[in-house]
A and B are shown apart, each in its own frame.
Chain A
Amino acid sequence: MITEIDDNQPPALDNAIDLTEKKDGGVLKVIKKAPTSDEQPRKGNKVTVHYVGKLKDGTEFDSSRDRDSKFSFNLGKGEVIKAWDIGVASMKKGEVCELHCKPDYAYGKQGSPPKIPPDSTLIFEVELFEWEGEDLTEAKDKGVVKQMLVDGQDYITPNPGATVNIKFTGKYKGTVFDERELEYILCEADDELNLPPAIDIAVKQMKREEKCNIIVQPKYGYGSNGNEKLNIPPDAELSYDIELIKFEKVKEAWEMLDEEKIEQSKIVKEKGTKYLKDNKFKQAILNYKKIIDYLSYHDAKIDGSEEDQKVIKEWKELKLAGYLNLSLACIKAGQYAQAHNNCAEALKMDPKNEKALFRDAEAYRHEIDFKHAKAAYAEVLKVNPNNGTARKFMKDCAAKIQEQAEKEKSKYKGMFDKFAKQDKEHEIRQKVEQKEKAKAAKKVNEKGDVNGDQPMEAEST
């Protein structure tokens, strides 16, 4: 039964609870069925509900029950109308309630054509089933699952390269194994700090002064090796309580002027090269990628002043270097598809770039795709016939192709020989069988001749 309410007056609903902070009657809740437990979802949890939505006149405009598919969303993340973020957060497990949502907390003056007219009050019957922590991983494999403990300030989160101050407690099977307060560069922590990847993943998505708990699967913790220093056995599931005390963001590209972008690109290029030399490919890739981000566009005009031309020239040189270094780092990290992509981008900027052609060839060679590698080295030699390394590798590739062909040949030859041998054996077996049969028949014939009354049919049997 849907109760009629007036948009301008708080509806006179028995037992209705005003859920809004302002107490303006924008979201009123009437409990229809008591919860089965006192547990409540937290902000960021992925909650699962069934709902039926109606207009004030009783017209049903949407129903997950009709679709026969429960609806899931991340609570408090602005994915659904305001009324729902407020209303569902107030619900407990198993509860069924009716939410009366004023336009300001739903679709406002615009409505949601064609089903929801402008300025509509919406009434939802919602049933809350279950929820789970927020999956923070990019692969969405539940490797780092977060439960918010205290919400943070604003909506700004630290970006890779930001200086962050955190406090955390790590637990394994309920026992604290690591408790620290530290300042470090996000996504570039030194190995000595002994931080698992999950910390970076979580901190990147936290706000200032936020506190949360994360459950970390081994892949994002200390993996199959564990951590001797911290007394963590292999394949351990860990739990961390983290507080992001403060952070200082690195400026985003769009916040910078051309000169700043170029300056920052030079800094990250140097950092990337240092990481590459230290065989820290992940960090190197991260820094080189920043060059591409910073230099995605320039304000200087192509047909602008001399100063503009100078900026654009430097911008191009740096961006090209960024792609080239990134392709090298990708090859070293075994990310060959990305290496090819970066070489392709570099070649777009400079179609005859020797390094880009060479690295493309290198990526093929490492992929053990000698045919393409050989062709790619040939391209390098077209640009620079004196490139000895390319010539050497091209010869190597040709040899490898030959070697592979020989191997295949001998493999198939062996196979054919084997088949031929098998056929021959089969033939011999058949001949032997035939001979034996013939012998047996002869014997029977001889006996028949002796007996003289044996029927012919029996012979064959």
Chain B
Amino acid sequence: MSDESKTVTKMLHDLLDERNYKDLKEFCCSENNQNQVVENGWDILTTLINHLKANTVDEQNLKIFQEVFIHVAKTSNPKEIILGLLEQFDPMIVLDIVELLLPPLNIVMDTLMHSDKSHHCYNLNMAFSSLVYYCESLNVPTYEQFDPLEDQAELLEELKIARYIEKCIDLARSALKIIKDQFSRNLIHATHFKAVKEEVMLFICGLMERISVLNVVHHEDNESNDTGQEMHVEKAAQNLTSMAISLHPAWSLWKDQTWKRFLPNNRQMVKEELDKIRNARACLLYILCASCSFQDQLPQIMNVQFAFSCCISAILTFLKATNPTKVHKGLTICRFVTNRLEPLSLQSSYLTQELKIVHIQHPARSLLEAAVSIATQCPSKTLRQRSAQFLTKFVNKFAWSDRFHLVFYLINTVEHSGVVGHMTVYFKDKLAEILQGEPPLGSHVFLKPSNFEKLLRKCIALPQGSETDLLSEYDRIMASLNLLRFLFLRDTNNKTGIWEQVPTIEIQFLNLLRTDINLSRMHFREELKKQSLPVKGEQAPTPEFTINGVSLPSLPPKHRVQMLQSAIHSFDMMQTVCIRVQEIMDKKPTELQTAP
């Protein structure tokens, strides 16, 4: 370090130790000290930031610091001072301090964009990666209690990230404006400008990925925003989207196959980076779908099937996430694109073969799998319900043959009683539609004997035979009984072939079910008796006794009795329907009795 530098540093330290910020500013901004400031810009920055890190400085004085930073940025060598500035975008430094550095960084970037045209991409990449890196270090809310239906005020963490992103956008816009101007004046080549746009898109992706983990609340119009409170995350998301649209039309951003070429293709990216880009694109699609501001940007000539297929990978990215705000975003995109699809308008093979957009082996199955997993495991009740509704709504968009295969696939692979019950009801509804009059075109796939038999057997299967836990399997069993009741009542002409299945239904389902009901009821009654007996002290329940997964001993005595009574009531209900099915089944229509 030269003597001059040592003097400057000592002077700064003295002023900082005295907290004499006014003199500090005077010293740094004075004409007389310009040479020293220019030569020691980086050191001055570091010294001041270190002081800020170690001391609490009030808002008024923070402004003084920022003025000094701006002065240093204006006067120092931009190629050098940019490094000094970016060095400070360190996750260990609090956002309030980092924000002081954004305006000076903006100034330096602008200077470099003007003076160092041949290194636009290098400088942009260097600055953007530091900005995104810092953004990634900011805390994200956990959203443990997230419910999209609840009106929630923005959280502090959300506000901080949104505020930072807004400032980053300003910085990028400013640099981009200069480069666009240079391009319009033919000062830079088209390929150079393309490379710049790629850097900016990568930056947008970096920030958009951060938005993807936040709750973006949208207001349909100004009226619904009762609180009049500005939604910072929404605004940041919209500004990022606008910036992306200023580079490429919304239509091109929407199309899965054109999206990739907007990003630098000469870089090898590791899986984490690719995942971030996938999340960013998914979030961009979400903003385009959910925000009214971009309705005019999407051309109203898009083929709805095509529009849907372009979103599949984005939807899957979000539906497979654990962050509930992402799941919410995924379901919102789903609703936006599937609402526009007419029933029977999709074909599985069209999605996998004709479009070749989605590099997913079986997009329809993958979407359903993801939806099932949300419907059964997501902590948010609203999201679980929305996902369950999506299942049948989505299957309905497919042609009849696909409907059959998708229903069979779900019933065959999913083990959750509620989902199987839900799909069994769907199967019953489709059969009702078919049996109503003239069968709809293509619906014969449901009536093809081998298909019908295959699906019916899956619906009526008892997972553990006569030892099946009737309470945990209640939904699927009741749905199966209703399906049988419906078919024996309605299909008197045996269009489905249900009457040929009577022996199988009796042996593999009803007999086993009856035994199971009787055994379970006896078992529960005994336990109830035990609980109801007047004994001294508290009656200890059977240690391993569980009701629908809940251990009986863990419940208070009063609840134990209630639970047992309710369970017995469920068995009674099941038996009533079972008896009814048996009755109708035994009354085989006479014309069918004479048939060979």
Contact = CB atoms under 8 A, between A and B. Distances in A.
Given A157-B356, A252-B352, A337-B270, A81 B249 contact: no
Contacts of A53: 300-301
Contact of B306 (A79, A110, A337): A79
A64 B301 CA distance: 11
The 10 closest A-B pairs by CB, nearest first: A337-B268, A62-B300, A155-B354, A254-B362, A140-B261, A341-B271, A80-B301, A79-B306, A254-B361, A108-B342
A113 B340 CA distance: 8
Contact of B271 (A64, A81, A156, A344): A344
A369 to B, nearest CB: 13
Interface of A: 51, 53, 61-62, 64, 66-67, 69, 71, 73, 78-82, 84, 107-110, 112-116, 124, 138-140, 155-157, 205, 252-254, 293, 296, 299, 301, 335-338, 340-341, 344
Nearest to A159: B353
Interface string B276-305: 000000000000000000011101111111
A80 B269 contact: no
Nearest to A109: B342
Counting chain A CB atoms within 10 Å of each CB, which of B258, B350, B361 scores highest? B361
A71 B303 contact: no
Contacts of A341: 270-271
A330 B303 CA distance: 39
Interface string B293-326: 0011101111111100000000000000000000
26 contacts: A53-B300, A62-B301, A67-B249, A67-B297, A71-B249, A71-B301, A78-B303, A79-B306, A80-B301, A84-B301, A109-B342, A110-B304, A110-B341, A110-B342, A115-B295, A138-B260, A139-B261, A155-B353, A252-B352, A252-B361, A254-B365, A293-B361, A299-B413, A337-B269, A337-B270, A338-B268
B270 A79 contact: no
Given A73-B251, A114-B295, A254-B365, 4 more contacts: A53-B300, A80-B302, A254-B352, A341-B271
A266 to B, nearest CB: 19
Interface in B339-376: 339-342, 349-350, 352-356, 361-362, 365
A340 B251 contact: no
A113 B270 contact: no
A278 B189 CA distance: 43
Nearest to A53: B300
B338 to A, nearest CB: 10
B270 A112 contact: no
Contact of A115 (B255, B300, B342): B300
Interface in B397-424: 413, 415
B354 to A, nearest CB: 4
B265 interface: yes
Contacts of A114: 295
A53 B300 CA distance: 8
Size category, B interface: 35 or more
Contact of B268 (A67, A112, A335): A335
Nearest to B305: A78
A81 B353 CA distance: 19
Contact of A51 (B301, B305, B365): B301
A344 B274 CA distance: 14
A61 B297 CA distance: 11
Contacts of A338: 268
Contacts of A337: 268-270
Contact of B258 (A107, A108, A140, A340): A140
B360 to A, nearest CB: 9
A124 B297 contact: no
Interface in B39-74: none
Contact of B340 (A69, A80, A110): A110
A149 B297 CA distance: 34
Contacts of B341: 110
A394 B260 CA distance: 38
B304 A155 contact: no
A360 B268 CA distance: 16
Contacts of A138: 260
A336 B304 CA distance: 40
B301 A81 contact: yes
Contacts of B260: 138, 140
Nearest to B310: A79
Contacts of B355: 78
A426 to B, nearest CB: 14
Nearest to B360: A296
Contacts of A113: 339-340
B342 A64 contact: no
B285 to A, nearest CB: 16
A339 to B, nearest CB: 10
B126 to A, nearest CB: 20
Given A110-B339, A140-B261, A336-B268, A79 B303 contact: yes
Contacts of A205: 356
A124 B301 CA distance: 10
A69 B296 CA distance: 12
